[in-house]
Every structure is written in C-alpha cells, then in structure tokens.
Amino acid sequence: MAITRTVAVAQGKGGVGKTSVTTNVAGLAALAGLRTLVVDCDPQGNVARDLGLEPGTGSPLLSALVSGSPLPITRAVRAGLDVVEGGPEVADLSGLMYARSARGGGNLAQSLHASLAAVADDYDLILIDTPPGEKVLVEAALGVAAAVLIPTRADDASLDGLARVAERFVVARETNPELRLAGVLLFAVGARSRRLESSVRRSIQSIVGNAAPIFEARVRHLESAAVDSRRAGMLAHELEGAAIEDRRARLAALRAGKAPADGLLVRNAEGLASDYEAVTRELLTRLAQIEEEVGAA
C-alpha cells in the first residue's frame, strides 16, 4: 500500500521542526535535481509560509481528497519543487471522512493514496508534513508513506511525543506493512552542547531501541534564522546567500554614514544550511537503503 519515495514527517509534539525539516529537505532535494513534491497535511499551513507563498485556506486539498479530484498542485515554487498546500479547512477532513467511512465509504488514507498514486510517477521524492495532533490526518499520512522521519527536540515533552508517533506507526503498519522508520532527527540542539546532545541520543536510543537509526546529522538551534526564514519565506540555504548580501549592504550603509535598513536578523546561516544538507544526505541514503530492503523482501 505504501507509495514509494514518500516520506511522512511526523511527531506527536508540536513545534519540534516537522515543517522546517520538510521544507528544507525538499528544497535541497530539488536543488540536487530530484523532482520533489511537498504535501502539507497541516491545518496550520506553515509549509506555504516557509516557501514564501501566500498562506492558503486548505479548501482545494480538502475538496480534492473528499471528491477524488486531482490534487491541487502549485507547480515550480522553486525549480523542481511542487507543493500541495494545507490550511485551516484541512481540519474538517477528520470529521468529513469519519462520517463517510461510517457510511461504508473509504477512509482518508485510501483517498490520499489514490490522489498521490495518480501523480507519484512525476516525482522522485514526496514529503508529507503532518500536524502535531489530528490523529486522522497523521494516520492517513502514515498509511500511504514508505518511510517516516521523526524530528524531535531535546526536552522530555518532545521525547514523550516519540511514543505517540510510535503508537500511530504500529496502527499504520496494519494497513501499510511496507512502512519503515527512516529515523529520528535531533532538532534545534545547541551547536556547542555536545554533552547534552549525547545524553539526548542515549535517551532516544532507550526509547526507540534498534527500531530506527538516530540520524548522525542534526539541526542546530538558530532562532534568528528560524524567524527570518518564516518572515522572508526563504529556506536556510537561501538565507545563507541573503545573509551575505545583507551583511554587505549593512557595511556599505555604515561606510556611507547611513543607518542600515532593517535587514535580516541572522548574520550567518551557513551552519544551519550545512546541517540541512547533511540531514538531506542522510535521509536520501536511508531511503535508498529502505527501497533495497523492501524490494528484496
């Protein structure tokens, strides 16, 4: 039942980097020449914000899934990157689909599967961003994905969230036996706190055991970049270039004795961009590995 090359990014806890990881990995994969699609299954619709798009209502996705019409794909938001936008109305899916399957109709996972299967051949990689709650939406995403990537922050509440994904993972495996755990990814950890990081890695290991690798790569804590990113609709590697230009403009203004214009908050996004690049490398490598395993099974 799994749609190959499809990765759900899920975590029971909010604010652990699901959307940031989804959009940044998608942007880098597209840069690497993979035809990439992001599907935003979150009523918050933050994918659009991260990519610099006007936030949508979610209504086109809602009606596509309810009526089985083609997915509303916004094409080429970056070269090689397409998006299906979420938004508030996506929240209504739970209720609508519940009523429908109660009447003997298909469930949300089946609708999503049919919609994605129709376009899957056009993409080398499909990433699904999921909401923190909304059980039905998360289960639908896990019901069609080939792999799930679980970002987590270092705090205990986030680690508890791992347990919630694990439960949903087990449920999803019943209808989607091909689903694999891509791995757990540490998000927003202090760049210099190596000791904290290894302690968190040990905690995660004790929670997931050997079921999933903990990604070697992690995303460093860099709040200024996070704020700029959503404000300007730029991904980390785009901020990287913009920050260099911003610094130049600032210096030029100072030299000319003028007050520098309000620019970016981040001075240097290079480290964060490298982190996302390392995450993307690890994810792509892991997906190739999963494909081999599943293909051989």
Partner 1 sequence: MSTARHPNLEDAFAPSGRGAGLEGLLQPRRATQTTPTAPEPGEVMGEPAAADTPLERNKRTRRAAGNTTQASSGQALNVAAYLPPATLAAAQREKQATGEQYADLLARAFDDVDEQALRATFAPQPATSSGAGMPRRAVRARGAAGIQRQFRLTAEQRDWLDEQVRAYDAPSRSAFIATVLGLHFRTLTQQ
Ligand X SMILES: Nc1ncnc2c1ncn2[C@@H]1O[C@H](COP(=O)(O)OP(=O)(O)OP(=O)(O)O)[C@@H](O)[C@H]1O
Site residues for Mg ion per CB under 5 A? 18-19, 46
Stretch that binds ligand X, among 18-26, 134-142, 192-200, 240-248 (CB under 6 A): 18-26
Q: Does 85 participate in binding partner 1 (rule CB under 8 A)? A: no
CA angle 150, 156, 161 (to 5 degrees): 35
State the minimum distance, in angstroms, from the CB of residue 256 to partner 1. Answer: 13
Q: Does 18 participate in binding ligand X (rule CB under 6 A)? A: yes
Q: Does 280 participate in binding partner 1 (rule CB under 8 A)? A: yes
Name which of 52 and 260 has its Cβ closer to ligand X: 52
Name which of 110 and 200 has its Cβ closer to ligand X: 200
Buried b (16+ CB within 10 A) or exposed e, 125-151: bbbbbbbbbbebbbbbbbbbbbbbbbb
Among 121, 156, 174, 262, binds partner 1 (CB under 8 A): 121
Residue 111 binding result from Mg ion, ligand X, partner 1, none, given CB thresholds of 5 to 8 Å by partner type? none
Among 246, 266, 272, 275, binds partner 1 (CB under 8 A): 246
State the minimum distance, in angstroms, from the CB of residue 195 to Mg ion. Answer: 29
Q: Does 70 participate in binding partner 1 (rule CB under 8 A)? A: yes
Please state, in angstroms and rounded to a whole number, the distance separating the CA atoms of residues 74 and 82.
6
The DSSP secondary-structure symbol of 211 reads S
Q: Does 244 participate in binding partner 1 (rule CB under 8 A)? A: yes
Around Cβ 30, how many Cβ atoms within 10 Å? 23
State the minimum distance, in angstroms, from the CB of residue 25 to ligand X. Answer: 11
Residue 17 binding result from ligand X, Mg ion, partner 1, none, given CB thresholds of 5 to 8 Å by partner type? ligand X
**Contacts for 64-72 with beta carbons within 8 Å, 24 or more apart?**
64/115, 65/93, 65/97, 65/108, 65/111, 65/112, 65/115, 66/93, 66/96, 66/97, 66/100, 66/111, 68/111, 68/114, 68/115, 70/115, 70/118, 70/119, 71/39, 71/115, 71/116, 71/118, 71/119
Residue 188 binding result from ligand X, partner 1, Mg ion, none, given CB thresholds of 5 to 8 Å by partner type? ligand X
Residues 124-143 that bind ligand X (CB under 6 A): 131-132
Name which of 10 and 214 has its Cβ closer to Mg ion: 10
Please state, in angstroms and rounded to a whole number, the distance separating the CA atoms of residues 59 and 61.
5
Ordered DSSP codes for 235-272: -HHHHHHHHHHHHHHHHHHHHTT-PPPS--S-S--HHH
Among 2, 5, 6, 17, binds ligand X (CB under 6 A): 17
Among 44, 158, 176, 280, binds ligand X (CB under 6 A): 44
